[in-house]
Amino acid sequence: MTLNGGSGAGGSRSAGRERDRRRGSTPWGPAPPLHRRSMPVDERDLQAALTPGSLAATAAGTRTQGQRLDWPEGSSDSLSSGDSGSEDGVYKVHAAGAPGVGKSALARIFGGVEDGPEAEAAGHTYDRSITVDGEEASLMVYDIWEQDGGCWLPGHCMAMGDAYVIVYSITDKGSFEKASELRVQLRARRQTDVPIILVGNKSDLVRSREVSVDEGRACAEVFDCKFIETSAALHHNVQALFEGVVRQIRLRRDSKEDNARRQAGTRRRESLGKKAKLFLGRIVARNSRKMAFLAKSKSCHDLSVL
């Protein structure tokens, strides 16, 4: 996030920033008039905000305020009364990446916060309810990744996310390499199958491109995550990114439920002969491994499939 030496959490956070490390940036115009959904946080606020109760309360507050939160253009998103699928009702999404790649810009677009002085005061956490594929989801996007590659609360950042958006700038090879590092660190910390989306931002800066689309896609395939290129400046693919995040979380949730159902079914079939059971199990496992491999190797750019 572009943070001037302001007050509060934002001010202290920005104190050690090395602004000249930012690359390929051009000023961009104000965001379309959206409802603002952000809040300033400091470390204590964040600790409190991370408790399941307060997250649920935030989500509930979002709904009771009854505001409609629209994407910029041509969106089918709307506020509805349904529940989102995460345990506490809010999907927690972390934006990570090297300095100056556009994490804050993307988060602010999601939160509907306009660029400029208002954004400086807005804080680093953005919540919003969106409807994806006819089902409402509440998202809390955390833009709290520090420039030294850590986070205000590293344990929390790595442990509490329902999804991670690892951003690099297509104009900065170093940020691309950093993204791979982060991906490795994240997988080392998170044993669970948490969705990670690799985001090549600043796709509008075509002349300064240092990372090709193919390199981005290949990296996502190697690291087993999803891939999308965005331009926060042009608001290009930002909606697709956050809708994709929701779809990825849901797909994993659904696949866990399927597995649980399959296991329950297996227990019911215990009366079947042992040999037949083993035989069927092996065929199913072999097929699903094959299918998973094929799907993974072809679909890193498709955020609507696993």
Ligand X SMILES: Nc1nc2c(ncn2[C@@H]2O[C@H](COP(=O)(O)OP(=O)(O)OP(=O)(O)O)[C@@H](O)[C@H]2O)c(=O)[nH]1
Residue numbers belonging to the annotated binding site for GTP: 97-104, 201-204
As a whole number of Å, the end-to-end CA separation of the chain is 30
Sign of CA dihedral 164, 170, 175, 179: positive
Using the rule CB under 6 A, give the single segment among 25-33, 36-44, 60-68, 287-295 that binds ligand X.
25-33
Q: Does 12 help bind ligand X (rule: CB under 6 A)?
A: no
- By beta-carbon proximity to ligand X, the closer residue of 234 and 291 is 234
Which of 94, 202, 226, 250 touches ligand X (CB under 6 A)?
Answer: 202
Which of 104, 125, 129, 138 touches ligand X (CB under 6 A)?
Answer: 104
Going residue by residue from 105 to 124, which x/- string records binding to ligand X, judged by CB under 6 A?
x-------------------
Q: Does 216 help bind ligand X (rule: CB under 6 A)?
A: no
- By beta-carbon proximity to ligand X, the closer residue of 41 and 233 is 233
Question: Is 121 buried (19+), middle (13-18) or exposed (0-12) by CB count in 10 A?
Answer: middle
- 12: tokens are 């202290």
Going residue by residue from 171 to 190, which x/- string records binding to ligand X, judged by CB under 6 A?
--------------------
Determine how β-strand 135-142 pairs with β-strand 125-132. antiparallel
Residue 197's nearest CA partner among 256, 142, 147, 244 is 244
**Positions at the binding site:** 97-104, 201-204
Q: In whole angstroms, give the CA distance from residue 283 to residue 117.
A: 60
Residues near 76 by beta carbon (within 8 Å), at least 6 away in sequence:
131
Which of 9, 10, 25, 158 touches ligand X (CB under 6 A)?
Answer: 25
**Long-range contacts: 258-265, Cβ < 8 Å, 24+?**
none
Farthest-apart Cα atoms in the chain, separation: 71
Residue 33 beta carbon to ligand X: minimum distance, rounded to whole angstroms:
19
- By beta-carbon proximity to ligand X, the closer residue of 167 and 300 is 167
Residue 224 beta carbon to ligand X: minimum distance, rounded to whole angstroms:
24
- By beta-carbon proximity to ligand X, the closer residue of 89 and 200 is 200
- By beta-carbon proximity to ligand X, the closer residue of 59 and 144 is 144
Sheet holding 125-132, edge to edge: 38-39, 125-132, 135-142, 91-97, 163-169, 196-201, 226-229
CA 213 to chain centre: 20
**For ligand X, how many residues bind (rule: CB under 6 A)?**
23
Determine how β-strand 91-97 pairs with β-strand 135-142. parallel
Q: Does 99 help bind ligand X (rule: CB under 6 A)?
A: yes
- Beta-bridge partner residues of 275: none
Which of 12, 80, 147, 185 touches ligand X (CB under 6 A)?
Answer: 147
Which of 15, 16, 26, 73 touches ligand X (CB under 6 A)?
Answer: 26
- Residues constituting the chain: 306
- For ligand X, which residue has the nearest CB? 102
Q: Does 244 help bind ligand X (rule: CB under 6 A)?
A: no
Which residues make up the interface to ligand X (CB under 6 A)?
A: 1-2, 17, 22, 25-26, 28, 97, 99-105, 147, 201-202, 204-205, 231-233
